[in-house]
Structure 1
Amino acid sequence: MPTMGCVSNQESSPTSQPWTRGHRLMVSLPIFVILFGILVTISNLTTVPWNIEPTGQTMATLTDDTAVTFANSSGEVLPTKGTYEVTERYVTLNIARDGSLSNETGVRNTAGENGVQAVKVLIREPRTESGNTTGTLPAVVFMHGAGYGTCDNSFGDVATDLASAGFVTAVLDKPVWNTTDITRDYPASAKAYDQVIKYLRGLDSVDDSKVGIYATSESTWISSYLLADDPKIAFQILLSPMVFSPRQSLGFFVTQDFTLAGAHDGYQSIVQRVFSADTGMLGLGNLDIHTLNPTAYAIPTYVAYGSKDVMTAQVDGVRAILHEAHQADNWDVTVRSYPVANHVLRLGDESESGTPFADAYVSDLIDWSVGTSRGLKQTSERVAGANLYQSIGLPGALQPRPVGTVYGLVIHVTMLLLLCASAVLALIALARVLRVRARWRRAARDARDGHGHGGAIAGKPSALGFAHGFGNALLTLTLTTMATLLVFFAGLGQVIMGVVHLAWGAAPSEEPGVMYWSWPVIQVVSIMVIWAWSRVFMRLIEVASMRGLIQWPPRKGAVRGIITGAEPVLASTRLGRVLFWLVTVTMLYVLLFFAFWGLFVY
């Protein structure tokens, strides 16, 4: 078997001497400055102006007592929690994608082929002793917050308690059709909830002028559309209302929670870039819906917050609600703040089942609902409970940035494609290396066993033919850059989990860990990687100069020697050269990815 020759890393006929250390430094330094300057410029250009002032806002309540009382001159005994036994029954409404009722049968919890969702509604009604409730009972429709929910796993306790106080309550499957959390159709959802309101108004036992709503979190955006469509709604209970546009509300929520979770300021700057995305160009317009208007607060309103709610801008929110209500000439707004309660007015971690409501919350909202539905005059303070607190200001100036969005999409999509292409080519190269080395081992074994042809056995072959140490440099820099990328995602992942736990009502971790130290580590490592790449490019220039390429005209035969692999600059094989440049461009795109997210802002 013929022996295999190895690729030499030395030139057969050098045309010039290797550079001195000083010469190499003089070439490396400008390359480093240019690369670093480009990345720093990108980081600064993608920085979004972000004003979180004023910080530490407070709003003092008028009393710690959250009880809601009314003047009851008639002396009528008002129902409270537990006054009546409660009966339950189900109805199903087939609701089309536009929120209208349909004669076609839909599918539960999603849209069928005909675009219709079968919305199951759980009706709870008080059982009175006389049984004579014709046209006298008030009613409440419950509106879901974020995520998914059904009539069977949502609002069970509070809906039952309200029913036991004399209300007909309706909890429905969340109308989602075929939408997701980011593509929700709020106007159609409002129409779907209104179908349930119309159903309740049609019941013999319900006073059609006394049907209200109970909206939580995300659904307080929907309630604005609902009140515009149906101004006859009698009253509303708003639990942790978001108040402002999704872009502003979510920007506030995530920024505040990144801080509370203990994330490094660098990770907090990611929020600025995410919520400045122009999602409208992608067909996602929900971030910029405008639901803050007088119509949304033109009816008697009960607003409830928890002091541990880390998702809402409570001080700015109450001010905005009162302003819009007064613009609509509505002065019947009651605000209650409950200590230790989280975003859904529960005590403890919402990720755990069975967490109770804040102590007096259910009793207070029942008392308010009973008195309001009877038209009584409230005698208790309008704003009561724990003092409201807001750690940072609302990012009111947050706007979509089309140019930054397009650039970010190009960077991310291109980086993903390059990573995939590099991975595929690396696997091909690995297979070639393994195949060549297997042949070499077989030839060496045959030679030792006396089956060879007497020729000398060559040293271990270089399957990709990398010369001048470029193969080792590429491997080292690739592993370092990818490890840095993994650290970035690990830190970001820990921040996200910390935010989720805070939203559920858990306490922040005392030791932030990787979410804090990873950012400065990545910044330092990135500088080292840039310097290493500048040295690699310098070495390329040096070798090309020695080959006679950096002159005009090029040295005779220099280009042919590179193409044939006789005098390689990078590698003697085409696969080696393609692999080097593809992986190099990919790693530089990873650095551009870091720059986009602000890792080169110092």
Structure 2
Amino acid sequence: MSMRKRKQTLIIVAVAAVLLVAFSLLGRIIAPSWQPVDSTATVALDSSDTSIAANNAVNAAIGTYDVDELTVTVHVGDGVTVNAIVRTPRQPQWPDAEHPRLPSEIPGCMFITGAGLAKATDVYGDLAWDMASAGVATIVPDKRMDNYSWQHRDYVQMAHDYEQSLDVLENWVGIGDGVDAVHVSKTNVGLYAESEGTWITPIIASERSDVSFSIMTSAPVFTPREQMTYAMDDYFRKLNVPFPTNHIISRLTTLDMGSIGPNYGDFDVTPYLKAQTQPTLFIYGTNDLSMPTIEAPATARSLMADAGNTNTLLRYYKGANHQMRVGDAKAEKSLPLAENFERDITNFALDAQDSTTQGWATAMTAGDDTPWQASAVMTDLSENGVGGGMVHSVDRLAVLQVGALLLLIVCGLTVPALHASRKKHIHREMAVAQLAANCSPDSAETGNVVVKYDELAKESRRRPGFAPGMATRLWTLGALTFATTLAWLGYIVYVALGVFGLTANSTVMTVWQDAVRVLAVLCTIAFAALLVTMTQTAVRHRKNPWKARPAVAGIGHYVWIAVYALAIILSFFMFMFWDIFLV
């Protein structure tokens, strides 16, 4: 290797090292300063017996009554209707000690689904039926979907839509005539909700005094942004997601949601919980990976107690997942419900109203297993975002991710146009030189076409294009950057799908992530080589403009290099945001 080549290589290595350190440090500045931490929260259980009963209460067991089922149409406003399934206990034809007559008015319960679930025919068939068989009328309405998407959700409006179904339940007269008709009490109807639905039930309960109880299963309590941060961290821990991917959540969940959404990320249920005066039952499974099973109920009960409502019960069920089913952490409808779960929620629905005067005969806090919470909830995330850096919103992140790829594709597709322009210019250049030669005296004397060297040299310096070796370096950097960007986006998609399905493989993630990080280093080296070469070319041209070509020439090539540079810059900012440089 010549001395000149060795010197150039050393300069490229030095520049690449400086850039690598700079990009890594910038990545830490752009990213949020906090990271999830381990939880130290604990809960003291009063009993391992989860049963629920008010003082002096005698309740019918599940299966005591036959159940009548009817699907009705509910008008929720704006000309929109939904279906709802009403299930009511039937008066026994021959009452006896095992099948006593129902009272003149029976309690009712409306069921609200969690995120995404929509059709009443797909949810709560077992819970609502079994509760009705013990003497509680139930209604399960469809979720209104015309104004519901992953980007937009209005929980207050959803609460008002659900209230229309609650009105139907309160005015329900069951099958039968005269004394055999089942009437639902207008003052003893309650709410059952899971997960996202528990952001809705406190709104209804705080606005309506006729709601007599609330059952909140797998309630997040914290804002959607805070809850999602917790859930992702818990999933990452379980899947042993490698560093720095396990810090993705702090980069995503602190971003301003912007115009992309979701718009409900900072919805705060706190004011509604404080105004909820009804007896409330909080329920969690000890195998629920998505909820802060200790901090969430503790926060909710504390808020309600401070506002004067101490009639709040808490129950934990061994091995139960987010849907209160056992056997797997993932949601599967075929899995059995946690033992005694249905019994307990049914007895709470039957006794909640009486508990306000008689009190509870059973423990306020109980569980057949002690819960454990992996990480602490990071609160006030909306106030601790990335800040004033270049990447502080989902919109800007999308510009980086998508814009970098699109611009690189545009650059690749326009290369043929640049070649065509250059070829056309060369033809014109040769024609001019030939015309000058034909018009010279030498040509007339010899009969030969003589192309003057000075003419060709002058035209060559005006020729559009890149200096020798520059096109190769541009192509190398562009190809590496495109491949790295595409590989990282593919990795993010794999992690997202794998985490929520609990199927991502730690080894695959580690190998894939390391490959992307190596590509990022190669991109940096290629970028350094391009910078050094362009600088040296510019110096040579400035020293001898008649012999050296400029690094870039021609309007079309100037425009192309500007678009190309923007694509590279966007890509490198994306790499810095995700902190994938090997430093």
Superposition TM-score, scaled by structure 2 size? 0.80
Return the offset for 1:203.
2.6
1:104-119, aligned counterparts within 5 Å?
A: 115-119=78-82
Q: Aligned partners of 2:519 and 2:120: how far apart in 1? A: 52
Q: What residue in structure 1 maps to residue 426 of structure 2?
A: none
1:2-57, Cα deviation, whole Å (9 max, x unpaired): xxxxxxxxxxxxxxxx9824642575366436633542343122221325345353
Q: What residue in structure 1 maps to residue 12 of structure 2?
A: 28
Return the offset for 1:362.
0.9
1:237-252, aligned counterparts within 5 Å?
A: 237-252=215-230
Which residue identity does 1:366 align to in structure 2?
Answer: T
Q: What residue in structure 1 maps to residue 277 of structure 2?
A: 298
1:225 counterpart = 2:203: yes
CA contact (8 A) 1:138 1:373 kept: no
1:138-183, Cα deviation, whole Å (9 max, x unpaired): 0000111101311211111101111111111011010233331231
CA contact (8 A) 2:229 2:253 kept: yes
Q: What residue in structure 2 maps to residue 126 of structure 1?
A: 89
1:147-162, aligned counterparts within 5 Å?
A: 147-162=116-131
1:79-478, aligned counterparts within 5 Å?
A: 79-96=60-77, 115-129=78-92, 136-204=105-173, 205-279=183-257, 285-293=263-271, 294-295=273-274, 297-349=276-328, 350=330, 352-375=332-355, 377-384=359-366, 385-400=368-383, 401=385, 403-404=388-389, 406=392, 409-410=395-396, 412-413=398-399, 416-430=402-416, 467-478=467-478
Q: Aligned partners of 1:194 and 1:324: how far apart in 2? A: 24
* Bigger mean CA offset, 255-264 vs 569-578: 569-578
Return the offset for 1:244.
0.9
CA contact (8 A) 1:307 1:388 kept: yes
1:295-340, Cα deviation, whole Å (9 max, x unpaired): 3542211111111101111111121122123223323222111111
Give the 3-state SS of the residue equivalent to 2:506 in structure 1: coil
1:562-573, aligned counterparts within 5 Å?
A: 568-570=549-551
Q: Which has the higher helix share?
A: 2
Distance 1:118 1:464, change over 3 A: farther
Q: Aligned partners of 2:469 and 2:123: how far apart in 1? A: 64
Match of 1:45 among 7, 12, 29: 29
Which residue identity does 2:373 align to in structure 1?
Answer: Q
CA contact (8 A) 1:325 1:331 kept: yes
CA contact (8 A) 1:241 1:312 kept: yes
Which residue identity does 2:532 align to in structure 1?
Answer: M
Q: What residue in structure 1 maps to residue 569 of structure 2?
A: 588
Q: What residue in structure 2 maps to residue 483 of structure 1?
A: 483
Q: Aligned partners of 1:248 and 1:81: how far apart in 2? A: 37
Which residue identity does 1:361 align to in structure 2?
Answer: F
Q: What residue in structure 1 maps to residue 493 of structure 2?
A: 493
Q: What residue in structure 2 maps to residue 64 of structure 1?
A: 48
Distance 1:416 1:486, change over 3 A: closer
* Bigger mean CA offset, 410-419 vs 323-332: 410-419
Distance 1:366 1:358, change over 3 A: same
Which residue identity does 2:521 align to in structure 1?
Answer: I
Give the 3-state SS of the residue equivalent to 2:299 in structure 1: helix
Paired-residue identity, %: 23
CA contact (8 A) 1:245 1:292 kept: no
Instruction: Point out where structure 2 has 5 or more consecutive residues left out of the alignment.
Output: 96-100, 174-182, 424-462
Q: Aligned partners of 1:352 and 1:321: how far apart in 2? A: 28
CA contact (8 A) 1:347 1:355 kept: yes
Q: How many residues align?
A: 521
Distance 1:336 1:406, change over 3 A: closer
Distance 1:320 1:123, change over 3 A: same
Q: What residue in structure 2 maps to residue 442 of structure 1?
A: none
Distance 1:545 1:530, change over 3 A: same
CA contact (8 A) 1:263 1:512 kept: yes
CA contact (8 A) 1:254 1:271 kept: yes
CA contact (8 A) 2:285 2:319 kept: yes
Q: Aligned partners of 1:296 and 1:220: how far apart in 2? A: 14
Q: Aligned partners of 1:466 and 1:85: how far apart in 2? A: 85
Which residue identity does 1:492 align to in structure 2?
Answer: I
Distance 1:34 1:543, change over 3 A: same
Return the offset for 1:368.
2.3
Which residue identity does 1:88 align to in structure 2?
Answer: E
Which residue identity does 1:85 align to in structure 2?
Answer: D
Q: What residue in structure 1 maps to residue 454 of structure 2?
A: none
CA contact (8 A) 1:429 1:575 kept: no
* Bigger mean CA offset, 582-591 vs 136-145: 582-591
Superposition TM-score, scaled by structure 1 size? 0.78
Return the offset for 1:233.
1.0
1:424-445, Cα deviation, whole Å (9 max, x unpaired): 34234358879999xxxxxxxx
Return the offset for 1:292.
1.9
Distance 1:427 1:282, change over 3 A: closer
Which residue identity does 2:399 align to in structure 1?
Answer: V
Give the 3-state SS of the residue equivalent to 1:286 in structure 2: coil
Give the 3-state SS of the residue equivalent to 1:378 in structure 2: coil
Q: Aligned partners of 2:109 and 2:348: how far apart in 1? A: 13
Q: Aligned partners of 2:410 and 2:519: how far apart in 1? A: 26
Which residue identity does 1:587 align to in structure 2?
Answer: I
Q: What residue in structure 1 maps to residue 457 of structure 2?
A: none
* Bigger mean CA offset, 574-583 vs 353-362: 574-583
Considering only aligned residues, what root-mean-square deviation do their CA atoms show, in Å? 3.2
Q: Aligned partners of 1:430 and 1:593: how far apart in 2? A: 28
Q: What residue in structure 1 maps to residue 531 of structure 2?
A: 537
